[in-house]
Every structure is written in structure tokens, then in C-alpha cells.
Amino acid sequence: MSSRILLSQIWPFTWPRQSPSTAMFLDSTKANIDKAAPGTTPTFIDVVTSKGFRWIISSILATLILLGLLSSREHLFPRPSLSISDPQPPRGRSLVSHSHPGSDHVDWSRFAYVQYVTDSVYLCNAVMIFESLHRLQSKADRLMMYPAFMMSPDATVASSHDERLLIKARDEYGVKLAPIQIQRRDGLDGASVHLKSTLLQPLPLFPPSPFAPLPFSSLSLSTAQTWSDSFTKLLAFNQTQYDRVLSLDSDSTILQPMDELFLLPPCPIAMPRAYWLFPAKPMLSSQIMLLTPSAAEFARVQHKIDSAAPDDYDMEVVNHLYKDTALVLPHRPYDLLTSEFRRDDHVPYLGSDAEAWDPVAVFNEVKFVHFSDWPIPKPWLATPEQLRKERESRCKEKDREDGQKCIDMTLWNELYVDFRERRQRVCVW
């Protein structure tokens, strides 16, 4: 049998009425067939080498290439998009930079970490917070609301500790300075406080150096004054130059960046639960608050302060306004009290009695730690020797019971030692 393949073997049907392109192919094929020797049947090679066949194959290849380009259009021409975790932009403004497609390019200048300052002691605490944010390379702006009497925001020469710290915060840590009036209230006589109060004069400092440990006898006065001054914190609601601000209490330590909080879904305010009060007193914690500043919300805060009870402070005000509507942040890892390392019952923090307390794991996961160990004073205050001995005795007794190293007390002490060392490094010349 001949090794040549006959056209009739691969095309065993009669030609229907043809389109112009098919007719072109057949005409070309017929031309090749006519060129074949008389009395012979055209072979497969004769067909595939015809001009019409080559034209059809070229058209098919071009169509396939075009379809491939269209299917890969999203890869060749990507469209800017927000990820699922990104919030819708407040007040109709995009969170994504128009010059860079994709959700990785957020305009961080629309967000800010906020600190409020009422005196020299808390000025140092605030600068320490900003030093941590600078060291951790946080991306959002840093804004400090401080008493206007301390310094002009554009001053370049310092003549006091306060001025040196303010200039250091501005020039070394990239902090934007916002002079404000201290908001103070006397909770004993129920005098009203307004967030548009007149300029107050600085209080006398004790001891002379604001960065030396304060005597424990001054704790009651300092604490009462601090709670009263805490209304100043609520001025963060009026920082409408930002889409969102994260207000942090300065008697705290930041262990990890928290920029991701700015990208939560839109809401007037987000706060964690005050887990240490649950379930007896369900409240939200004002130690860390993610706010969407607006004139309307600021007016609500002002109105509530005007009608607040004598023993109401910032935490009571925000809970009255937002307890049932706020977005609840997980207190793990965003709000841990130092006293947790001294407790025996960790269920309120862990959220379950099925999880075993692991102090090292908790320490490694937490991002924001608030110093709260009453009656132990704040870390910039001198701790009475008797209190220190009681804490050490409790730790040693625990060691004798379980034969293990007192990891809780080691971590607890480390937080206090670290705070004091950083305070010395950041605030003392």
C-alpha cells in the first residue's frame, strides 16, 4: 500500500456551500490539486502546504493569542482595590494613595497616635510612648496635645525640662505639637468642666525634678489630679484634621506596632472591654480608643461632660455614650494590665477556663500594657519597701509550692524595670 495519505482519507465528505474565507481556502487547495500530476489523488502534504490552509491556521492562532491576552488582562492591567480587611474611607476620602494601586499603599498621614499631657510628669510619659512608636517604626502620624503654657509649638531654643522634651519629641520622634487648654474638673464639689475652658497656670511640681520618683505620700493627690485632668483626653474627638486617631494612656508600655487598628471597619469609636471588671461591672476600657473625630461626636462628648455626675471621668463618659454601640477591640492583645501577672484567676483575661495560663505566651502576644497594680504605685513613683517585700514573699511562697521559677513575677518586674530605664534614657539629661 502506498505510504502517501490520500486526501479522501482525511476529508471524506462533500463540500457544503462555503463562506468567502472557506472558498479562498478551497480555491487555494484546488490550485495545488490542479498542479498535481494528472491521474493522481492530492496528498495530505499538498493540502497543508496550500496558501488557504496557511491562512486559516494563522487566523486561528491569532484568535487564540487574542483570547489569551483578554483572559490575563487583570494581570497585565491591575486595578486598584481594597482588601477585605480595609475600612470604607471616612467622610468619603480614599484610604489608598491614588499614585500607587493596591491596598498596601495607605495614606498614613490621615491617621495619628494621640497623647495628651497635663503636667511635666505625664509629658515624659507621652514622649516615652512616642519614642516607642518611633523605635517600632509605626507609620501613622504622632500628635501630642500639651498645655499651651509649656512652649510655643515652633520654638527652637529650650530653657526648661518641658521645653527640651517637647522639642525632642518634635525633632527626634516626628511628633506634631498641638497646644491645648487643660480640661480639669473637681469631682468633690461637682463643678462643671468645659472642653473650651480658659488657660490654666502650671501647677507646682514635686519633687523639684519631674523625672525623679515621687514620694508615695503624694500618690493620692497625684491620682486624683490625673483622673480629673483625664477629661483632656477627650479633646481627641476634636482632632478633625485626621480621619482616625488612636488615643493611648501614657502610663503604659507599647511592645508591638498597632498600625493595623487604623484599618478597621468605620465606626465612631472602638474600645476593648475592661476585662478585669467583667462580669460584675461590664464596661469598655478607655485606656486605648480608636476614634473618628468629628464636630458632631465632639459636641456629644461636651454635652455629656456638662451633665456628668461628680465622680464621673473620661471612662464613664465614653461608656455612657458608646458602651452599646462601640466596635469592641479584642483585649488580647490590645489591653493587658500589669496586675494580670499577679493574679491567681486568669479566666477574665483568657476568656475561657479551658485555656491554661502561660505568662510567656501572653507576654509575647500582647501589644499594649497598662500599669495598674493598686496599691502599688505607678512605675515613676517610689514603691514602699513593705509593698515590695510583700510581692517578693508571695513569689517565693509560690516557688516553694510548685517548685518552678516565678515567671509571672519575673515578667512583671521586667515591665517596671524597663519603664524606669527608658524613662531615664528618654527624659533625663
Residues 214-269 pLDDT 10s = 444 444 444 445 555 667 889 999 999 999 999 999 999 999 999 999 999 999 99
Q: With contact defined as beta carbons under 8 Å apart, do 351 and 332 qualify?
A: yes
Q: CA 373, 377, 378, 383 torsion: positive or negative?
A: negative
pLDDT at 353: 92
pLDDT for 153 equals 92
Phi/psi class of residue 139: alpha, beta or left (left: φ > 0; alpha: ψ in -120 to 50)? alpha
pLDDT digits (tens, 9 = 90+) for 276-304: 998 899 999 999 999 999 999 999 998 99
Q: Tell me if the pTM is above 0.75.
A: no
Q: Could you give the percent of the chain with pLDDT greater than 70?
A: 66
**Which one is predicted more confidently, 330 or 94?**
330
- Split at pLDDT 50, 70, 90, the class of 50 is confident
d(CA 288, CA 335): 7
Please, which residues have CB within 8 angstroms of residue 350's CB and are 6 or more apart in sequence? 332, 357
Mean pLDDT for 143-156 is 93
Cβ contact 268:291 at 8 Å: yes
Topology of the domain comprising 109-427: Spore Coat Polysaccharide Biosynthesis Protein SpsA; Chain A (3.90.550)
Q: Which of 61-75, 177-191, 202-216, 400-414 has the highest mean pLDDT?
A: 400-414
pLDDT band at 7 (very low <50, low <70, confident <90, very high): very low
Q: Is the pLDDT of residue 42 over 90?
A: no
